[in-house]
Chain A
Amino acid sequence: MDIDRLQTELLRAARADRPSDRVPLAFERRVMARLAERIRRDPWSEWTAAFWRAAMSGGAIALLAVAVNWATPGAVNDLTEDPELFAVADSAPAAAADEPAQDLW
């Protein structure tokens, strides 16, 4: 059996028989009714969709920032690893406590 020729013949016959373009009665009214319904509903659905898009984008950016932070070599993740910065941070509350109270006001 010649499948190639069978396929060609089948497609040729099918091509010759175009599907109908008949439109059901008052179909345009159905479309316009659905459109009107969608327009009425749209303000809320648009807000909801925008909110979800913003939330997803925010989450994705946060994840990306965390990933970049962890992947960056030499990034200081722990302040105690930097002795100089640690010393400044450690002495700051003590220095503030030594100042006279009126200077704070």
Chain B
Amino acid sequence: MAPSPLLNPDPSDAEVVAEVLAGDTARFEVLVCRYQPRLFGTARRYARREDEVQDIVQEIFLKAFSKLGSWRADAPFEHWLMRMAVHTCYDFLRSHQRNREHNTTDLSDDESDWLERHAPAPASGGHDAEAARTLVGKVLDKLSPPARLVITLLELEDRSVKEIAALTGWSVPLVKVRAFRARAEMKKILRHIASEKYL
């Protein structure tokens, strides 16, 4: 006999989705609580301001709720949700593209230090990961939305080309082409930053 939702302290995603689709919308909170840390981690890769991050995560959950009927239980709910998350983050990047122009010389002290240590001899020196991450954030801000998405998924989240294709809906060759262009775009920006700093 299937356990009652009231007695089951840890219902599966499929059970919760079935309850929500049956009309118990309050049960959606179980899914929100379960996946919100994962979505916050993802959204923080694309947005820097905390209010933007919260808006993105909220939007993902609202979309997930309205499209819940389209989830097929043969694939994990998390994969379906992450696909929605990636699409929402991509939409965010495209809608905020014009607001993301920065002066590349506008580096913090930590970021300048990081460049000074690593630019002359990249393999040497310690790791100031936080400075590197914010510096990467500034470089990524200068990239086009598809380039930023593919660099984030491929290089920062360490996903395979196939995974990226599944998440974005792009074909595998398109992911490869966009990854190639994104790396070239990123190098160009880095070269620009470095030349501004050292010339």
A residues adjacent to B (C-beta < 8 A):
1-11, 13-24, 27-28, 30-32, 34-36, 38-39
Contacts and interface: CB of A to CB of B under 8 A. Distances in A.
B61 to A, nearest CB: 5
Interface in B57-107: 57-58, 61-62, 65-66
Contacts of A34: 58, 62
Contact of B190 (A7, A18, A38): A7
- Nearest 4 A/B pairs, CB to CB: A13-B132, A17-B129, A21-B41, A19-B44
Nearest to A39: B25
Given A11-B156, A32-B28, A27 B41 contact: no
B194 A6 contact: yes
Contacts of B158: 15
B41 A2 contact: no
A3 B28 CA distance: 48
B122 to A, nearest CB: 4
A14 B133 CA distance: 4
Nearest to B155: A11
Given A16-B127, A28-B32, A10 B132 contact: yes
6 contacts: A23-B40, A28-B36, A32-B26, A32-B29, A36-B25, A38-B66
A14 B136 contact: yes
A35 B54 contact: no
Contact of B38 (A6, A17, A21): A21
Nearest to B140: A14
B191 interface: yes
Interface string B34-56: 00111011001100001000100
Contacts of A15: 155-156, 158
A30 B40 CA distance: 14
Contacts of A14: 129, 132-133, 135-136, 156
B15 interface: no
B119 interface: yes
A30 B57 CA distance: 11
Nearest to B66: A38
Contact of A3 (B50, B57, B156, B187): B187
Contact of B122 (A2, A21, A22, A39): A2
A31 B37 contact: no
B190 to A, nearest CB: 6
Contact of B118 (A9, A16, A18, A24): A9
A6 B37 contact: no
Interface in B136-164: 136, 139, 151, 155-156, 158
B22 interface: no
A35 B156 contact: no
Contacts of A6: 118-119, 122, 190, 194
